[in-house]
Structure 1
Amino acid sequence: MKQLIVGLLVLSGMWSACSAPQKTAGGVFAPVSTDGEYGSSQHSPKADSLAMTRVFIDACRARSLGDDEGAVELFREVLQIDPLNDAALFELGKIYFEYGKLDDARELLRLAAEQDPANTYYLETYGSALLYLAQYREAIEIYQQLLHIRPDDMDAAFQLAFSFERAGSIEESLSFLRQMEQQFGPDESILMEEYRLFLRNGMLQEGIDVLLRLIENNPDEPVYVSMLADVYELADQSELAEATFDKLLEIDPDNADLQFKKASYQIRSGDREAYWNTLRKVFSNNRASIDKKVFFLVPYVDSVDKKNFTDKDSILEMARLMTIAHPTEAKAWAMQGDLLYYAGQKTTARESFLKSTDIRADVYDVWVKMFYIDAEEER
């Protein structure tokens, strides 16, 4: 059997030989001229219709059974009878697309959509193919055509906005998103798309304005407030950024991620006192995630023994606060033991390791560390 990709139709020559279709009395499309390879127009329209129907059904059966190669040959037979049969064009175009014959697939899907311009499934598939091929200007026309038929199709509307953007028409994309907002209301997905577009193009203040609207519309959704803090920081609006962090912590005071994020912002802005005060709050909070606290401290295990490390006392304080907040967590005592050991405080480190084993005795690594401490003391 012939290979699927080898020997397929050469579209550029084939379709140029086909003229516009006209309807026969039986409702079957037939070409006005048949100078191409698909057969003669002298066939009986009724006979052609019956033959074409049988072959098309066989092609669909082959396709459903996974015989794409056989389906291609059968759809080609349909097109020999009716070169502009939209269903055969469409099905063959989908197969071509799946097998990487992208240019041929695009031409087939285009012809199918031209034969039945009201078929929204044809338009959707053709539009998706154009987007995949990065032919955004052509995609714009198709999605505009689709929205003319289905004006309430939000998915198609988003695809049109995306096509405008990818075609380099940022203002058109934003303008269309505003039209969508008027039509569909202040939908979160529309506003988020506006926000993404503003940020991608460096329009920070416009992005901030959109986030403020999202926060107003969704007062119980802290993610937008967190995003606002990020944009304020990006826009170098430090006072607004810190105020936004405070607002977030009012909503979710036990959110360790948020508290660490605020501390990170404070240290970058040079406010070390505020940085350590924020960390004291999170490490003292027994409702904040202990795993987040341990993750924060891990990098300092290799730093506390360095002579030029000036934050040793503060890091050890954080570890102590963690054990107070989580006295029944073995990992809290083990982490404090690690930091104390590398800081040279081996006696207190052993005490901390021992408390860890009292809580959980199956952590081999902690026992090994106590063994090393004991061995060093015996020397």
Structure 2
Amino acid sequence: MKFAASLILLAGLNTVCVGQAKKPPGNKAVAAQSLSAADSGMVKQLFFSALREKTLDNKKAAAELFNRVLQIDAKNDASLYELANIEQAQNNLAESRQYLERAVAIDRDNEWYWNALASLYEKSNDLPKLNAVFDELIRLNPDKSDYYYDKANALYLQKRYNEALKLYDKVEALAGPSEELLLSKQKVYLRQNDVKKAASLLDALIEQNPTQTRYYLAKAEIFSTNKQYDSAIAILRKAIAIDPSNGLLHLALADIFREQNKPAASYDELEAAFADSNLDIDQKLRILLGYLPRLKEPDARASALQLSKVLVQAHPDNSRAYALYGDLLLQSNQVKEAKEAYKKSISLDKQAYGVQEQLVRIEFSENNMDAVIYDGEKALELFPNQAWMNYMVGVAWLEKKNYVKSISYLKNTVMLAADDKNLLTQSYSGLGDAYHATGDRKSSDDAYEKALEADPDNAYTLNNYAYYLSLRNEQLEKAAQMSKHSNSLAPENASFEDTYAWILFKQKKYAEAKLWAEKSLQHDKSASATKTEHYGDILYFLGDVTGAVQNWQKAKALGASSPVLERKINEKKYSE
């Protein structure tokens, strides 16, 4: 057992030292005191009965029998020891400690008892009493280096550094030098701010193990922590000459150069570190995530992207590496490459739902509805309860005019998106569009009403609902109010303006309709045939037949094609 100074003291000490005990307590059921033959026989019988119950894990029965032994023989230290173990097993540490203190008072020469007591003092952090226990253990076994080492570590925790160093020297005299001992002494020197001595101990380790770069790294860390950067760089350069691809060494150099405000040199070392496939990928990912707040800076974005590229080269089978590479490619507007990185990430880990959603969001933004359906439905096979994925696939089917499938996915979405008002509104709005396309007016209106209930100021829902009402020539006043509100929410939107113009036209408010139709055409960058045809309709009812025919003809040239439009052009009059 070695006493770890930087951790909790002596965990499990009583089990490690069993093999060193001089006097196993089980061999001493009766104390060396004058007992009658009857009492002596009873003690033996009770003691071994108690051991039997303990072996059967009947702790309560065992404790009762050991206590009966003590009623006959109050100085039966073996029973006290066994009771201490029973109490400790039930985490009754105070009671266990009392039993052990009574046991060592009876038999001061039993290492078992002292080691068990040391464990309890360690758990209660009673360092002064722990020191006294180690003194007893050293008295009993003066050639055992572990006891000196454990006491030295206890003294270290009490900041009695010089006393600890003396005991470490004693350990070295008994057991010879070791890495563990040298590192323990090093910690003391560092606490004493004696950087030179602390570093010199590592020199000894380096001399003994000249190819072990971790010692160089530890020495460099001492210098770096104390801002002796040149010395740290020099020792790291020596280590890199031994192991050029060691990522930890390059990371240490990168940290030093960053402290020295040398970003170019720091980045070069980072890139070298990222190329080391043996370096923990989680550490690399943390470094890359540190760039995220600075991605608006071109240099930071370029550095992060290059590091992520090196990352996937070093870890070609890691899904997270490709996912982050995809994120950084997307941040750099390399959308095609980002999609490929995401697909690679998904191929390596099909449980990476976040990556799948990111891929489908890109495809959705590109209006690539076939890809949305293909990748989205694959994702939903594994993650059927993802609201946004259901929504995107539902809208994709809506765009493909498969209204039955669209309604199915959008109904899933509204069940899953109860706490997301934005998504709930969009989903109900999509259902309104889908139901309208199937001719189910009631379900369409109900869906739009629910969408507006979730968000009364959703401009797209207001516009679509109003437009469909106007097509049916129903509730035109309500439609006009909704359309006007949508234009106040999203001004200069050509589609919204055209809807309002069309509703006003339906209400026979032709002059006002003309103004909104002209706004729509002014803001329309797509040269819409529908908007142009609507403008012609309005002009006709304002008495401008020539202008009406010209706009109908223009609508035809822009791609509009219907028997109604042909009749308007041929007959030079409005027709429905």
Residue number among 294, 301, 307 corresponding to 1:312 in the alignment: 301
Cα contact 2:247–2:276 (8 A) shared by 1: no
Cα contact 1:29–1:82 (8 A) shared by 2: no
Residue number among 165, 171, 175 corresponding to 1:174 in the alignment: 165
Task: Please state how far the C-alpha of 1:238 moved relative to its aligned partner.
Answer: 0.3
Superposed CA deviations along residues 114-169 of structure 1, whole A, max 9, x for unmatched, are 33222211221122223333333332232222223323433323322233334443
The RMSD of aligned alpha carbons is 3.5
SS across alignment from 2:125: coil
**Is the radius of gyration larger for structure 1 or structure 2?**
2
Q: After alignment, is 135-144 or 363-372 more displaced?
A: 363-372
Superposed CA deviations along residues 83-103 of structure 1, whole A, max 9, x for unmatched, are 111211221233334445544
Match of 2:252 in 1: 261
Task: Please state how far the C-alpha of 1:65 moved relative to its aligned partner.
Answer: 1.9
Match of 1:151 in 2: 142
Equivalent residue runs for 1:198-237 within 5 Å: 198-237=189-228
**2:328 is aligned with 1:339:** yes
Cα contact 2:81–2:113 (8 A) shared by 1: yes
Cα contact 1:143–1:156 (8 A) shared by 2: yes
Cα contact 2:46–2:69 (8 A) shared by 1: yes
Question: How far, CA to CA, are the matches of 2:285 and 2:101 in structure 1?
Answer: 58
Equivalent residue runs for 1:346-357 within 5 Å: 346=334, 349-351=335-337, 353-354=339-340, 357=343
**2:15 is aligned with 1:29:** no
Question: How far, CA to CA, are the matches of 2:158 and 2:315 in structure 1?
Answer: 55
Cα contact 1:302–1:342 (8 A) shared by 2: no
Structure 1: tracts of 5 or more residues without a match:
1-26, 32-43
1:375 and 1:240, CA in 2 relative to 1: closer, same or farther beyond 3 A? Answer: farther
Q: How many residues align?
A: 333
Question: How far, CA to CA, are the matches of 1:50 and 1:74 in structure 2?
Answer: 14
**2:62 is aligned with 1:71:** yes
Match of 1:165 in 2: 156
1:205 and 1:373, CA in 2 relative to 1: closer, same or farther beyond 3 A? Answer: farther
Question: How far, CA to CA, are the matches of 1:115 and 1:325 in structure 2?
Answer: 65
Equivalent residue runs for 1:59-98 within 5 Å: 59-98=50-89
Task: Please state how far the C-alpha of 1:331 moved relative to its aligned partner.
Answer: 7.3
Question: How far, CA to CA, are the matches of 1:134 and 1:289 in structure 2?
Answer: 37
Question: How far, CA to CA, are the matches of 2:199 and 2:300 in structure 1?
Answer: 36
Amino acid at match of 2:183: M
1:323 and 1:121, CA in 2 relative to 1: closer, same or farther beyond 3 A? Answer: closer
Q: Higher helix fraction: Structure 1 or Structure 2?
A: 2
Equivalent residue runs for 1:133-148 within 5 Å: 133-148=124-139
Residue number among 231, 237, 240 corresponding to 1:249 in the alignment: 240
Amino acid at match of 1:65: L
Task: Please state how far the C-alpha of 1:232 moved relative to its aligned partner.
Answer: 0.9
Q: After alignment, is 231-240 or 274-283 more displaced?
A: 274-283
1:287 and 1:129, CA in 2 relative to 1: closer, same or farther beyond 3 A? Answer: closer
Amino acid at match of 2:246: N
Match of 1:41 in 2: none
1:256 and 1:110, CA in 2 relative to 1: closer, same or farther beyond 3 A? Answer: same
TM-score (norm 2): 0.51
Task: Please state how far the C-alpha of 1:302 moved relative to its aligned partner.
Answer: 5.6
Question: How far, CA to CA, are the matches of 1:145 and 1:274 in structure 2?
Answer: 57
Question: How far, CA to CA, are the matches of 1:57 and 1:328 in structure 2?
Answer: 61
Percent identical pairs in the alignment equals 25
Match of 2:360 in 1: 368
Question: How far, CA to CA, are the matches of 1:210 and 1:277 in structure 2?
Answer: 31
Superposed CA deviations along residues 331-376 of structure 1, whole A, max 9, x for unmatched, are 7776555334323x34xx4146447758975774574365256449
**2:92 is aligned with 1:107:** no
Cα contact 2:145–2:174 (8 A) shared by 1: no
Q: After alignment, is 65-74 or 320-329 more displaced?
A: 320-329
**2:122 is aligned with 1:131:** yes
SS across alignment from 1:30: coil
TM-score (norm 1): 0.74
Q: After alignment, is 215-224 or 48-57 more displaced?
A: 215-224
Equivalent residue runs for 1:255-334 within 5 Å: 255-282=246-273, 285=275, 291=281, 296-301=287-292, 303-304=294-295, 306=296, 308=297, 310-319=299-308
Question: How far, CA to CA, are the matches of 1:132 and 1:354 in structure 2?
Answer: 55
SS across alignment from 2:33: strand
SS across alignment from 1:311: helix
Cα contact 1:263–1:276 (8 A) shared by 2: yes
Amino acid at match of 1:129: L
